Structure 1
Amino acid sequence: MKIGLGLPIDDPALLLSWARRADAGPFSTLGLLDRLVFDNPEPLVTLAALAGATSRIRLQTEVLIAPVYSTAILAKQTATLDRMSGGRFTLGIGVGGREDDFLAAGIDLHRRGHRLDEQMTLLRRTWSGEPYGEGVGPIGPGPATPGGPEVLFGGFAPAALERVGRFGDGFLGAALPPQPMSGLFRDVEAAWEKYGRPGRPRLVAQVNVALGPESTVRRARHNLSEYYAFTGRAEQVANGLLTTPQEIREAAEAFTGIGADEVMLYCWSSDTDQLDLLADALF
């Protein structure tokens, strides 16, 4: 069972410590969320710093809101990060849905899906070393991973699941318990077969966790509520936080049982003692 960690965002100065301790432990991946209009560290910049502080663990955006980024710059940034990390980078990617992020970026929220489709075509072309477009040559450096970093799509809409078959290497599912997540996983597998892809998509599940004293759990619930305030169901999300070793073990086993190749434990409090507690709970 591969177990990754979603990094907390409430104290960016502690992320180097999180990364070094996770790299020395049993965890497989470090994930970092993305927002533009929010008090979070920019994920690609941050993961580049964490790449230099680690040697083994994978680095993943979870998920990057690609439509608010310049496509050419995104191609260069992601290839650079994959190159400098020795091929340890996974680009978790999605369309986003917070209107203020798109207003700040000057991008039409209602065209974000179409824009992401266009971006993926350009990203794949650029990572393969082809010219970026008419009158524009290749954009380097070339990524360490042939054809570009691993791409996982996040989302719930049918179009998001279709993109896995069209452009991706797998799917990152979040905010659902195992039974409904199983349905999404099966839809992703169907999309994979529809587009004649060889092998199988990589399936990753994310669950929100907090282990430790009441202050750690309370802080995690507060941070979850702030992040999901725009949805109108922040309290429901915060109450779904897993806070005991047994709950977390059972969730990891259940997601593995429905076909997850990796389970990402998203930590919403910056208390670094959680690293040891989670390792003890699962390994």
Structure 2
Amino acid sequence: MNVGLGLPIGEPDSLLTWARRAEAGPFTTLGLLDRIVYDNPEPLATLAAIAGATSRVRVMTEVLVAPLRQTALLAKETATLDRISGGRFTLGVGVGVREDDFRAAGVEYRRRGRRLDEQMATLRRVWSGEPYGDGIGPIGPAPARQGGPEVLFGGFVPATADRIARWGDGFLGSMFSPEEMGRFFRTVERSWQVAGRAGRPRLVAQANAALGPEPVVQEARRAISAYYDFVDYTDKIVQRMLTTPEAIRRSVTGFTDAGADEVMLYCWSSDMDQIDRIADTVP
């Protein structure tokens, strides 16, 4: 059973210590979210530092809002991170849903899905060593993983399954119950088969978690509420956060039974003792 940790964003200067301590435990992956108009560290730069501070654990964006970024630079950054991490990088990627991020980046919000599809075609080409475009040569370095880093798409709509089948290696789902996640897993698998892809997609589930005394749980609730204050179902997200060992075990088991290859538990409190508490719940 593979269980990873999503890293808290409240205290960036503690993240390397988080990473080293988590790697000493049972965790398989360390993840970091992405925003522009928010008080969070930039994920690719931070994960590069984390990759340098660790040797075993994978590093992952969950998820990087690719349409906010210039494509050639994104190709170079992600290939570099995959290379210096020894192939331990997973690019979790999505279209994004916060309009203020797009206004800050000067990118058209309504065209973000089409832009992501165009970016993926370019990224795959660049990662394979082909020229960037007419009259423009290849962009290095070559990633450690042939063809580019592992790519997982996040999202909640049928277009996500289509993108996975065309461009991706698998799916990263969040804010679903195990039952809901299982249904979308099957949708992803069907799209994969229809596209004639060999093997099977990698399936990853994410759930929010906070373990510890009441102040730790309350800190996490405030943090997740602030992060999702742009939607009208914030209370539901807060209520679904896993706050007991029993709830975490039940959720991990449920996601695994639904077909998840890995379960990411995203920490919203900066209390580092959560690492050991959550580690004790991992079967």
Fold similarity call, TM over 0.5:
yes
State the partner residue of 1:88: 88
State the partner residue of 1:121: 121
**How does 1:207-218 map onto structure 2 within 5 Å?**
207-218=207-218
Q: Percent identity?
A: 65
Q: TM-score, normalised by structure 1?
A: 0.99
State the partner residue of 2:153: 153
**How does 1:181-200 map onto structure 2 within 5 Å?**
181-200=181-200
State the partner residue of 2:168: 168
Count of residue pairs the alignment pairs up: 283
State the partner residue of 1:32: 32
Q: Give SS of 2:230's match.
A: helix
State the 1:194 CA deviation: 1.1
Q: Give SS of 1:282's match.
A: coil
**How does 1:11-22 map onto structure 2 within 5 Å?**
11-22=11-22
RMSD: 0.6
State the 1:151 CA deviation: 0.1
Q: How far apart in 2 are the matches of 1:281 and 1:30? A: 17
Q: Give SS of 1:113's match.
A: helix
> Is the 2:154–2:172 Cα contact (8 Å) retained in structure 1?
yes
State the partner residue of 1:247: 247
State the 1:160 CA deviation: 1.1
State the 1:235 CA deviation: 1.8
> Is the 2:26–2:282 Cα contact (8 Å) retained in structure 1?
no
Spell out structure 1 runs of 4+ moving beyond 3 A.
Answer: none
1:259 and 2:259 correspond: yes
**How does 1:65-84 map onto structure 2 within 5 Å?**
65-84=65-84
Q: How far apart in 1 are the matches of 2:251 and 2:25? A: 21
One-letter amino acid of the counterpart of residue 114, structure 1: R
Unaligned runs of 5+ in 2: none
Q: How far apart in 2 are the matches of 1:180 and 1:278? A: 24
State the 1:172 CA deviation: 0.2
Q: How far apart in 2 are the matches of 1:52 and 1:180? A: 36
**How does 1:50-65 map onto structure 2 within 5 Å?**
50-65=50-65
State the 1:10 CA deviation: 0.8
State the partner residue of 1:6: 6
Q: How far apart in 2 are the matches of 1:89 and 1:171? A: 15
One-letter amino acid of the counterpart of residue 148, structure 1: G
Q: How far apart in 1 are the matches of 2:209 and 2:87? A: 28
State the partner residue of 2:49: 49
State the 1:213 CA deviation: 0.7
Q: How far apart in 2 are the matches of 1:208 and 1:54? A: 24
Residues 2-23 of structure 1: CA deviation (Å, up to 9, x unaligned): 0000111111111111100111
Q: How far apart in 2 are the matches of 1:38 and 1:158? A: 28
One-letter amino acid of the counterpart of residue 48, structure 1: A
Q: How far apart in 1 are the matches of 2:48 and 2:133? A: 27
